[in-house]
Amino acid sequence: MSNSGHLIIGLGNPGPQYELTRHNAGFLAVDYVAAQRGWSLNAEKWQGIYGSGRLGADRVFLVKPQTFMNLSGECVARFVDFHRIGIEQILVLHDDLDLPMGRIKVAAKGGAGGHNGIRSLIQHLGGSDFTRLKIGIGRPPRNEQGMPVDRYVLSAFSEEELAGFNSRLPLIQEAVELFIEQGAGHCMNRINGLVAEKKL
Question: Where do the structural domains in the chain lie, given as residue ranges?
Answer: 6-198
DSSP one-letter code for 44 = E
Instruction: State how far the Cα of 84 lies from the Cα of 86, in Å rounded to an integer.
Output: 6
- pLDDT tens-place string over residues 29-77: 999 999 999 999 999 999 999 999 998 888 999 999 999 999 999 999 9
Question: Would you say 189 is a known binding-site residue?
Answer: no
Question: In which order are the strands placed within the sheet that holds 58-65?
Answer: 43-45, 48-55, 58-65, 6-10, 90-96, 131-136, 104-108
**Would you give the DSSP letter of residue 145?**
T
Q: Catalytic: 124?
A: no
- Give the C-alpha separation, 161 to 95, whole Å: 13
6, 23, 94, 115: the catalytic one is: 23
Annotated ligand binding at 13? The verdict is no
pLDDT in tens, 127-168: 999 999 999 999 887 666 678 888 999 999 999 999 999 999
Say if domain 6-198 classifies as CATH 3.30.420.40.
no
User: pTM for the full model?
Assistant: 0.92
CB neighbours of 96 closer than 8 A, spacing ≥ 6?
105, 113, 115, 134, 135, 136, 137
